[in-house]
Structure 1
Amino acid sequence: MGGMGDQGGRVSRRFWLGTLVGVTAALALLAAGCGGGGGKSSKGVTALPSSSCSDIYYQGGGNADYLIASDLPLQGSGRTQTVQMTEAIKFVLKQHNFKAGKYKVGYQSCDDATAQAGKWASEKCSANANAYAQNKSVVGVIGTFNSGCAEIVIPVLNRAPGGPVGMVSPANTYVGLTHGGPGTAAGEPDKYYPTGKRNYIRIVAADDFQGAADALNAQQLGLKKVYILNDKEAYGQGVATDFKNSLTQLGITVAGFAAWNGKASTYTGLATKIKATGADSVFLGGLICENGGKVVKDLRSVLGKSVTLLAPDGFTPISAVVSGAGASAEGMYVSVAGQPNENLPANGKTFVKDFGATQKGGSVDPYSSYAAQATEVLLTAIANSDGTRTGITDQLLKTKVTNGILGNFTINANGDTSANPVTMYLIKGGKQTTYKTITPPQSLVGKA
């Protein structure tokens, strides 16, 4: 998931982060257990602040040696999706009897969202990052979900005492977190790793793969003239740029490239402008929580049903798209970096069956499978390490998975996965239906 910051994109986010400097020391004190509900010893490890994190989950023998945390937005339109991801993490931990080799591991689920924002918030990501860094019990983080939050957390954990602290993301797709390319900012990705050592990996395809896959889907749908929108933020601009570059390589006309304002009350004027170009389709590069439902409604009301609507994984969970756009979402294509559950290999299908049996209705969101695999990767790194933060991070960058929940894959020196499928979902009858999975060729990805 590439979701980035609040209104105004990268520049305003940097300014906002600058204003946080004055409170960073206070946050660090809170994180170290000098207030805010953190710092209490429980089950052999020091708990993270209760203001953001759950109680420690540990049912193993004796006391836990270490803590791992997940950092996900647990408030807002995607709550059902991310809460189930935390349940998947617990499920895997319990399967392992809370052990990673000779080490015993407890877990806390931490929320990087606020009720006011209804999504991830810069100040929560910063506070959480400081809490993880300063709590010596924490040896790894599963997350983040949104790439903008990762931009904040990665460098803090990179400089952590005794670290870096390793991160495994089951969802981040913004290219600049791990490597450079079109749509990324100057200095990326190196500015996220101030020590010069990498401490972050992701197990999903980056947006250069997603943009290329979306372009191939447009080509296979027979689309000839695509208007591209973005939500003014780095994720949205990045995936929209990757999509645009891939369309150009495929010889598909880009009818226009513009932004929508997530705080606007209507988008009929924008839709009228798009209609005048004769576009046969519109790509919405951004987040559903940036008033995406209203954008879809107004596009559909002006453009009609004949114009195809496309969106990347910022428009998940798809239930939130349907909730926000109603019948206007019908026939829309939404891409998600990763395999659908029905395409997972044997061990993946077993996980979906067994974990699904613990969930109401038996439904398992694809991101839960990725959260489970991220947990397996982190536990393996801990088991293969010398038990230090640095040792665990070193092992994360050596990840090689065989017959895992997601099948076989390796992690390269940048922290990227070798498995890069992107699945297209079609909204049909108000439901998410799997349309097809595309793994774009490197020749197209390289131009994205």
Structure 2
Amino acid sequence: MSRRSLARFVALAAILSMFGTSAAVMPAQAADQVIKIGIDLPVSGADASDGIPTQNGAALAVDEANAHAPKGIKFAVDALDDAVGGVHNPQQGATNIRSLAADPAVMGVVGPFNSNVAAAEIPVSNESGLPLISPSNTNPTLTKTAKYRTAHPNEITYFRVCATDDVQGKAGAEFAKTLGLKKVYIIDDNETYGLGLANVFEKDFKEMGGAVLGHDHITANQQDFKALLTKVAATKPDAVYYGGTTSTGGGLVRQQMGAAGMDPAKVKYEGGDGISDAEFIKVAGDAANNSYYTVAAPNAAKSASAQAFINAYKAKYHSDIGAYSANGYVAAQVIIAAAEKAIKANGGKAPTRAQVLKNIQNTSGFKSIIGTFGFDKNGDTTSPVIALWTIKNGAQDFVHQINVSTK
């Protein structure tokens, strides 16, 4: 080593020694405490056109929360898929909730999407104390009975921000009457959601003076409906009402009606929010036109308060929102607000799951892009809304919506 290099080395060592002691005693930067928001939705296969837009809405809420999160706190998404073979699966849903419940950092879950999946998940949620907030489950028995609260019947751990089928089915029957339908044939997928909705529609349509020409159930994974639809065609219905989802046959039933003797331009097709996805139009093809459906949530595009959300969603995901994107966003916001309230009460420390659950149970006057609401004693929203839609020229077209709580 040359003298000049040696001099430089000695000088550098001297400088480092000046800071060495102080650097050693400086405290390390504490890592943020992570609070996880679980998401359980069907995001693969035929159900993906429902699940992905809803998941995107929830994830966007988490992103925005981190922009103003309490000091030392970071929110994170833990998203799981409850579809198996491309279709929502109750057993997979229950497995997902057990996994999320086993992680103490998970304070609540947005989901599930489908009512039969909720029926499998609620017992797990109820036993573990893990809050679930569904953006889209509509079967009334999930909340209005203690049937699924097996461990703690009086403890509400499951909530929803959508309307229920006792009002959605009635709205569908009223919709049918306004469309001039007098004779309807009903088909359902024999699942918790589809069968329940179809039964409510049938009861209310009859009470309104409509005639139900028949009511049949299809089987899981059925693809060919020729025999059934030929039978239906012989009754000469004004419309076919389908209770179920696109993935369980809703799109194929409509697509195959023409070959069975029912011209889609003349015989209307009606259903609930199970056929509100883009997949229905894809599967039904041109026959999707002249179809009508109800959605158990408001049309966010018609809300002035939702415009910032819609713009942020399009900027991030480069696509339009789905029927339940706004509900997914709001469900996540409720969990985040409950966590932040507990953090404040704890003097900045991370909350317990029990604290978050208690705050969700006490939610009231919550201002959101889908309206101001709270949860009633059963966990249902206090401000349910039903939106009515049709399909024209291969595109979804909004008709109007009903605030059920004031109707």
In which range does the TM-score fall when normalised by the shorter chain?
Answer: 0.7 to 0.9
Name 2:192's counterpart in structure 1. 234
The whole-number CA distance in structure 1 between the counterparts of 2:309 and 2:266 is 40
> Is this contact kept in 2: 1:99–1:105, CA < 8 A?
no
Letter in 1 for 2:166: D
2:36 to 60, 64, 67: 67
1:291 to 236, 243, 249: 249
Q: Report the identity percentage.
A: 29
Report how far residue 261 of structure 1 moved.
2.7
> Is this contact kept in 2: 1:237–1:285, CA < 8 A?
yes
Say which structure is richer in helix. Answer: 2
Name 2:14's counterpart in structure 1. none
Corresponding residue SS for 1:191? coil
The whole-number CA distance in structure 2 between the counterparts of 1:434 and 1:261 is 31
Q: What pairs up with 1:394-433 in 2 under 5 angstroms?
A: 394-433=358-397
| 2:285 is aligned with 1:326 | yes
Report how far residue 402 of structure 1 moved.
4.2
The whole-number CA distance in structure 1 between the counterparts of 2:294 and 2:37 is 30
The 1:173/1:92 distance shift into structure 2, 3 A limit, reads same
Cα RMSD of the aligned pairs, angstroms, is 2.1
Report how far residue 230 of structure 1 moved.
0.8
2:227 to 263, 269, 287: 269
Q: What pairs up with 1:236-251 in 2 under 5 angstroms?
A: 236-251=194-209
The 1:65/1:263 distance shift into structure 2, 3 A limit, reads closer
Greater Cα shift, 328-337 or 190-199? 190-199
1:356 to 314, 325, 339: 314
Report how far residue 204 of structure 1 moved.
0.3
The whole-number CA distance in structure 2 between the counterparts of 1:135 and 1:210 is 36
Q: What pairs up with 1:13-52 in 2 under 5 angstroms?
A: none
Report how far residue 415 of structure 1 moved.
0.6
> Is this contact kept in 1: 2:91–2:120, CA < 8 A?
no
Q: TM-score of the superposition, structure 2-length normalised? A: 0.84
**How many residue pairs get matched?**
367
Name 1:130's counterpart in structure 2. 98
> Is this contact kept in 1: 2:298–2:387, CA < 8 A?
yes
Name 1:86's counterpart in structure 2. 55
Report how far residue 100 of structure 1 moved.
5.7
Report how far residue 221 of structure 1 moved.
0.8
Greater Cα shift, 291-300 or 217-226? 291-300
Corresponding residue SS for 1:62? coil
Structure 1 alignment gaps of length 5 or more: 1-60, 180-187, 444-448
| Structure (1 or 2) with the larger CA radius of gyration | 2
1:205 to 137, 158, 163: 163
| 2:109 is aligned with 1:141 | yes
Report how far residue 220 of structure 1 moved.
0.8
| 2:342 is aligned with 1:342 | no
Greater Cα shift, 329-338 or 393-402? 393-402
Q: What pairs up with 1:147-186 in 2 under 5 angstroms?
A: 147-160=115-128, 164-179=129-144
The whole-number CA distance in structure 2 between the counterparts of 1:372 and 1:191 is 26
The whole-number CA distance in structure 1 between the counterparts of 2:110 and 2:225 is 37
The whole-number CA distance in structure 2 between the counterparts of 1:266 and 1:202 is 35
The 1:287/1:408 distance shift into structure 2, 3 A limit, reads same
The whole-number CA distance in structure 2 between the counterparts of 1:265 and 1:123 is 23
The whole-number CA distance in structure 2 between the counterparts of 1:213 and 1:389 is 37
| 2:278 is aligned with 1:278 | no
> Is this contact kept in 2: 1:65–1:104, CA < 8 A?
yes
Report how far residue 200 of structure 1 moved.
0.8
Letter in 2 for 1:130: R
